[in-house]
A = this chain, B = another copy of it.
Amino acid sequence: MKNRIKELREQKGLTQEQLGKLIGTSRQAINAIETEKFEPSIWIAYDIAQAFGCAIEEVFLFEESTKKSRAEISRRDHNGNS
């Protein structure tokens, strides 16, 4: 999902590692979320937003993103939907 982590992170002069430590997660997790490799858990999303003094929706851009939720895929697999 699209996000503004890099923008907000650099605004605060933080490295991925520093942000990770700040919220208690790994540097790689920050990197993967920032580069849209995977979706954040709700707590990590919240903690990141908090670190920037933002609401979750200000950091993670749901509307501009496409979700490939497991639910959809699973449902498609099971009942032959497009």
Copies of this chain, tallied across the complex: 2
Residue of B nearest to A69 (CB): B43
CA gap between A43 and B72 in the complex, in Å: 12
Q: Write the A32-52 contact mask toward B (1 if CB under 8 angstroms, else 0).
A: 000000011111111000000
CA gap between A72 and B41 in the complex, in Å: 14
**Which of A26, A29, A41 is packed against the most chain B CB atoms within 10 Å?**
A41
Interface size on A, residues (CB 8 A): 23
Also in contact, A75 and B24, with CB within 8 A (given A55-B55, A55-B57, A56-B56): yes
- Sample 10 A-B pairs with CB under 8 A, ordered by A number: A1-B42, A24-B72, A26-B71, A39-B42, A39-B43, A41-B69, A43-B69, A46-B57, A55-B56, A55-B57
